[in-house]
Amino acid sequence: MNVVFDHADEFGEGILRTLQLAGSSFAGAALVAIVIVSCRVAPVRPLRMFGTAYVELFQNIPLLVWIILFVFGLPEIGIQFDLITTAVIAIGLYQGAYYAEALRTGINTVARGQAEAARALGLGFRQSLAQVILPQALRSVIQPLGNLTIMLLMNTALAAAAGVVELTAAANRINLQVADPILIFVSAGVAYGLLALCISGVTGYLERRLVIHR
């Protein structure tokens, strides 16, 4: 264990960078999901087609491909960000497709009468979605959203392919110095596991407090 303690600063920096990537990507993915799910359930056919195409596109191409494409492709068309921002954009856009589908599942659980009542009160589509349907849908899919957030956390490891030194990349750098892969990568795995347990704990708490029993 001396190896881990001797390189605690590097592990710590990797964990903080992983949390930065996960938090920023989660915020971006949540925003993307709201936009896409709104398109998916909109009464306008072109918007529904756009939402469907977006989900199919991002869910059927691996995240690593998107990260590499954004890192090397965007500069070719004159768009350039730092590596962390590029990784966050790629992860957020990718993960947003999954969040959107989870939210759409939640919307399908909302009774049709809720939308009809909203229309009867004079609420338009956007008002009904924002004030009546989405709040109920969100409370119905807290656990699936938590699982997707754990997936997002694990996907931040792919940012190493773009040169971002998060936890996995930090562990690899330490291993190149001390050549003790089992201990180093097991330690990194334990760190990921603890972070996932934190997400699971928060999700479980929110579900107990907010879930709608139908």
Range list of H helices, 141-180:
142-155, 167-178
CB of 26 closer than 8 Å to CB of 153: no
pLDDT tens by residue, 92-143: 999 999 999 999 888 887 767 666 676 666 666 677 777 777 888 888 888 9
For residues 54 and 95, what is the distance between their CA atoms, to the nearest angstrom?
A: 11
User: Splitting the chain (214 residues) into consecutive groups of 10 residues, what average pLDDT does each group show?
Assistant: 71 90 95 92 89 94 92 86 91 95 85 68 70 79 92 92 84 80 85 93 87 61
Overall CATH class of domain 2-210? mainly alpha
Domain borders along the chain are 2-210
